[in-house]
Amino acid sequence: MRFTFLGTGTSFGVPQIGCECAVCRSSDPRDKRTRSAALLEVGGRTILIDTPPELRLQLLAAGITRVDAVLYTHEHADHTMGIDDLRIFSVRQRQPLPVYGPPETLERLRTSFRYIFDDAMRPYEGTSKPTLELHPIEPGQPVEVAGVELLPLAFRHGHLRVYGYRIGSLAYITDVKAIPEAERRHLRDLDVLALNSLWWRPHPTHLSIAEAVRTAQELGARRTFLTHLTHETGHAALAAELPEGIAPAYDGLVVEVQ
């Protein structure tokens, strides 16, 4: 199973507009962070997690030509606003692209992107729009997506519910403040854990780096990669401070999962 971090930045991205800090001016390509998304390739199928604003550029950089399904974590703009870039896949594959996620997130997509989901809004002849099939899924109930069985798990992100996903020995969890005990029992014996960690200081809706490290150690994942990072931590400096088995992810990082 091949897992790619397409984007690993927070909602502002790195570099931030107008910022002159050392990380925003860094020449290290690992310090250039687009908004968070990921890609899973298994058994000849490709599953995309979230559609951030830079999705087109991310997929071009990764050399992706086919997507078989999309998973959404939640409705925030930095995770959804690249949805129109799914158009190429439904057009090229000549069939609707299945989309899965929390029911309330899919309903928000339906109302926010009416031109996609309202059948009365037909594209002009010679033009196109994404053709997507929405499939609400419930947490704690295994579901088959593009022939791959996965388990959605629900967490709190401020006032929102956000989904993380376990696929085999991989778990992808972003935009969470804590992992309650009820969900932890589904996150044992992981080969790879991808976990959000905004910065070192506390944040009301995200894990801090210290909280993420402690959580990863408690879960006992063999390898943990921190994502959804800000310009407050450069890649090299952060990597040097993290304990063994935990590392910062970066855009384009490919991980082979057992």
| Per-residue pLDDT tens digits for 154-186 | 999 988 999 999 999 999 999 999 999 999 999
**Tokens representing 164?**
């993380």
Give per-residue pLDDT as tens, 12-46: 999 999 999 999 999 999 999 999 999 999 999 99
3-class SS of residue 116: helix
Instruction: List all residues 6 or more positions away from 60 whose beta carbon is below 8 Å from its beta carbon.
Output: none
Give per-residue pLDDT as tens, 71-91: 999 999 999 999 999 999 999
Instruction: Say which CATH topology domain 2-139+147-256 has.
Output: Metallo-beta-lactamase; Chain A (3.60.15)
Q: How confident is the model at residue 94 (pLDDT cuts 50, 70, 90)?
A: confident
Cβ atoms within 10 Å, residue 256: 9
Give per-residue pLDDT as tens, 202-253: 999 999 999 999 999 999 999 999 999 999 999 999 999 999 999 999 999 9
Instruction: List all residues 6 or more positions away from 7 whose beta carbon is below 8 Å from its beta carbon.
Output: 33, 34, 35, 36, 37, 52, 54, 58, 251
DSSP string covering 41-106: EETTEEEEE---TTHHHHHHHHT-----EEE-----HHHHTTGGGGHHHHHHHTSPEEEEE-HHHH
Domain ranges (residues) in the chain: 2-139+147-256
pLDDT for 70 beyond 90: yes
What pTM does this model have? 0.96
